[in-house]
Amino acid sequence: MLNSSSGTAAKKKQEELHAELRAAFERHTISATLEFLEGPDLQEGAKQAARRAAAGEFDAIIAGGGDGTTRTVASALVGADIPFGVIPLGTLNNFAKDLKIPSDVTDAVTIIAAGAARRVDVGNVNGQIFINNSSIGIYPYLVLDRDRRRKRRGLSKWPAMALASLRAFRSLPLRRLSIRADDCHDTFRSPFVLIGNNAYELRGAALGRRPALDRGELALLVAKPQSRLGLLWLGLKCVFGMVDQHNLRSIKVTALEVSSHRKRLLVALDGEIRSMETPLRYKIMPAALRVLAPAANDP
């Protein structure tokens, strides 16, 4: 399942990418069916592929794209015993990076061909999964405003994000939220809350990376009080996976509930935005996805 509008894929002609992938799979004597799909077609295609894999027609399902594409395809495979491979073709590819999957197409196919599979966790909020994180507050608004500007003005992603950031600086969204998690119950006003599928490294050279995806935990990160410019900078840092301990309160839990006086909240799921009914009920789904990736302790 390939998303032709993903970052790397969008820079190449579809025929060129198809030929490169075909050659990479043939090098390992793998017969691969390559489909370029977007939006609802990608979601439906993933469901159909999962049914065919369950019937023995495919040995594995592969997602070629960014984190949004990976999440869409993974959603059809959660809880199944179907091997899932990832070819990073997006802009950030955070899930692939945390799985230590190389960004080069040929090298990523080599990982898939090796056939080594391990199980990783996924997060779940009100029945929707996420493979990296979910967030509430400034980030969903940044993404929506960025995408509007791209559609209306034909801007590329980063100039559109810069303009969206300026607008967010002028009208920073604050949310009064109530959070219940294990024995903790707290109410606060914050422009940014992030729930990670497993904990992020908050210091050192591995800043923003997850050292493990199989610890069966969620990481709740809440922005601490700070200036408007500081909060905007925090939102931008989280776009690039650069969260750090100086700006955020961090708690590890297995489940939590987020309540608000609003009936619906904008929620980001791996960079894709949804309007969801409150309360938001988050939980970790341990070992829910079987991925083709290097062993967790590989360098």
pLDDT-derived band at 66 (thresholds 50, 70, 90) equals very high
Of 30-34, 84-88, 232-236, give the lowest mean pLDDT range: 232-236
Mean pLDDT of the chain: 86
Instruction: Give the mean pLDDT of 81-93.
Output: 93
Instruction: Give the mean pLDDT of 216-243.
Output: 70
Taking the C-alpha atoms of residue 200 and residue 206, their distance in angstroms, rounded to an integer, is 9
Main-chain dihedrals φ then ψ at residue 185, nearest 5 degrees: -140, 120
Question: What totals of helices (H) and strands (E) does the chain contain, helices first?
Answer: 9, 14
Instruction: Kindly report the pTM of this predicted structure.
Output: 0.86
Say which residues have a Cβ less than 8 Å from residue 95's Cβ, sequence separation at least 6.
Answer: 67, 70, 71, 86, 131, 132, 270
Strands (E), the chain: 61-65, 84-88, 117-125, 128-130, 133-137, 175-181, 184-190, 192-197, 218-223, 248-253, 255-260, 264-269, 272-277, 280-292
pLDDT-derived band at 299 (thresholds 50, 70, 90) equals low
CA angle at 3 for the pair 51 and 109, rounded to the nearest 5°: 80
pLDDT-derived band at 249 (thresholds 50, 70, 90) equals confident
